[in-house]
């Protein structure tokens, strides 16, 4: 029999949809993937070359648990230059992906029974990580445009509230929180003595006039009580390399180090060496990926909003669109009835050969998340197929 902890975990809906997609492809079906939150670009060559060099140089042993000094220093330089945040290398804990960095931070801060505020819609793993740490996830609504609703955050605070998990630019909505909202949130956190975990993995994917602001930058008080989580997966198209980090006060970074030391030890040695000069050598590639994502966003948004009954807002960041599809609920195709977004996703997988993830996975029923991390050509074909499949519903 499994432990209560294992029995209580809800498996990731995004991974489940991916497994279905793989099965369909193995059966010979042509499926276009809009379900995975993964840049389709190659990792920039300077990073690949540095990795190969590190392997040839025998950089294949354990490193310190929280990472090698040159990478921690490069991260400090980046945080200062890009975010106006001043950290020393001991305040950085390098991890096996942003996901482990998040888990480290939650386990470092959350006691059994502590309440953790999570604005929704939210990334699939937040609720499960909090539950694994023994905390109680408290889901807090955002505004209609998915901006932060500080009033609902205030209302959700109780004596047990310990932590708020923020994610801007946001997965799944693409919302980018304003400096004013983050400043207000910083005041709330200070007033009620709360920590903020700020997941900034989509920081570099930002469009139009939107600007990424870290809550850690809004005041010295929030700097002290914020754990910045970031990683290399989305910025540098390095999802499979598994590299992320936290930046925090010393007490929290020591706790992350201790926790990680017993869970996974250091992240992969040659991956760390590969990334040391990424911020210096690869920003042109990062910018060209950003421009490509922006073009895809604009195209997919135009196509989705031209479909009858689909309502969508144009997001400022990340690589997702999250239309409301509820006007299709109750419609049928042959014997198939669409009761909710999960049914519509299954229908689109079967009838249109496109994979996307239903909003329930992100605590947002009535919607579907489309990742535009796919070529413009595939997006065009996928949207044509979706349009045709929706027309068949009566
Ligand atoms: N945070 C958010 C909001 C994400 O969307 C993801 C990945 O999809 C992660 C964290 C984890 O990223 P990684 O572990 O690849 O760095």
Note the pLDDT tens digit of each residue in 211-231.
Answer: 999 999 999 999 999 999 999
Which atom number of ligand 1 is nearest to the Cα of residue 199? 1
Nearest-CA neighbor of 374 among 43, 19, 14, 40?
A: 40
Nearest to 232 by CA among 222, 224, 221, 240: 240
**pLDDT band with cut points at 50, 70 and 90 for residue 191:** very high
**Mean pLDDT score, 64-68:** 98
Cα distances from 12 to residues 2, 17, 266, 295, in angstroms, run 18, 9, 25, 29
Q: Are 146 and 313 in contact (CB under 8 A)?
A: yes
Atom in ligand 1 nearest the alpha carbon of residue 96: 14
> Which residue has the least CA distance to atom 12 on ligand 1?
98
- Residue 60 reports pLDDT greater than 90: yes
- Residue of 126, 234, 244 to test ligand 1 pocket, by largest number of atoms within 8 Å of CB: 234
Residues 6+ apart with CB under 8 A from 371: 33, 34, 35, 36, 37, 38, 319, 320, 356
What DSSP assignment string belongs to 116-169?
Answer: EEEEES--HHHHHHHHHTT-EEEEEE--TTS---HHHHHHH--TTEEEEEEESS
Burial zone of 117 (CB within 10 Å; 0-12 exposed, 13-18 middle, 19+ buried): buried
* CA dist., res. 393 & res. 329, Å (int): 10
Give tens-digit pLDDT for 304-321.
999 999 999 999 999 999
- Whether residue 8 is predicted with pLDDT greater than 90 in this model: the reply is no
Residue 15: per-residue pLDDT: 84
Residue 384 clears pLDDT 90, i.e. is over it: yes
The torsion angles phi and psi of 374, rounded to 5 degrees, stand at: -150, 160
State the Cα–Cα distance between residues 343 and 240, nearest whole angstrom: 30
Question: Which of 17, 101, 125 gets mutated to test ligand 1 (max ligand atoms within 8 A of its CB)?
Answer: 125
Atom 7 (ligand 1): residue with closest C-alpha? 37
- The span from the first CA to the last CA of the chain, in angstroms, equals 46
* pTM, 2 dp: 0.96
pLDDT in tens, 17-53: 889 999 999 999 999 999 999 999 999 999 999 999 9
Tokens of 62: 């354990």
Residue 85 CA, distance from chain mean position: 21
Answer yes or no: is the C-beta of 98 below 6 A from any ligand 1 atom: yes
């Amino acid at each position: 029999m499994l432990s209560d902890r294992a029995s209580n975990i809800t498996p990731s809906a995004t991974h489940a949809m991916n497994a279905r997609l793989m099965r369909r492809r193995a059966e010979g079906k042509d499926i276009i993937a809009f379900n995975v939150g993964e840049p389709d670009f190659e990792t920039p060559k300077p990073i690949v070359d540095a990795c190969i060099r590190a392997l040839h140089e025998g950089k294949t042993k354990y490193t310190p648990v929280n990472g090698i000094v040159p990478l921690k220093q490069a991260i400090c330089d980046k945080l200062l230059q890009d975010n106006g945040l001043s950290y020393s290398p001991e305040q950085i804990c390098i991890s096996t992906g942003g996901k482990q960095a998040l888990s480290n931070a939650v386990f470092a801060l959350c006691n059994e029974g502590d309440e953790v505020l999570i604005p929704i819609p939210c990334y699939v793993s937040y609720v499960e990580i909090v539950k694994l740490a023994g905390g109680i996830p408290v889901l807090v609504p955002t505004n209609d445009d998915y901006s932060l609703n500080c009033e609902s955050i205030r209302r959700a605070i109780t004596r047990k509230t310990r932590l708020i998990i923020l994610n801007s630019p946001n997965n799944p909505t693409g919302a980018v929180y304003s400096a004013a909202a983050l400043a207000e949130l910083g005041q709330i956190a200070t007033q009620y003595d709360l920590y903020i975990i700020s997941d900034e993995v989509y920081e570099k994917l930002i469009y139009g006039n939107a600007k990424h602001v870290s809550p850690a930058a809004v005041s010295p008080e929030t700097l002290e009580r914020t754990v910045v989580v970031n990683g290399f997966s989305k910025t540098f198209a390095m999802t499979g390399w598994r590299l992320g980090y936290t930046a925090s006060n010393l007490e929290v970074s020591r706790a992350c180090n201790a926790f990680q030391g017993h869970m996974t030890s250091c992240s992969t040695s040659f991956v760390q060496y590969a990334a040391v000069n990424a911020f210096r050598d690869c920003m042109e590639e990062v910018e060209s990926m950003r421009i490509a994502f922006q073009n895809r966003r604009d195209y997919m948004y135009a196509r989705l909003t031209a479909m009858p009954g689909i309502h969508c807002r144009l997001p400022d960041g990340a690589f997702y669109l999250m239309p409301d599809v509820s006007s299709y609920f109750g419609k049928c195709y042959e014997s198939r009835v669409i009761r909710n977004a999960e049914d519509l996703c299954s229908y689109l997988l079967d009838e249109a050969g496109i994979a996307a993830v239903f909003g329930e996975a992100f605590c947002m029923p009535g919607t579907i998340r489309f990742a535009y991390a796919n070529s413009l050509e595939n997006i065009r074909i996928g949207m044509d197929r979706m349009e045709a499949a929706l027309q068949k519903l009566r």
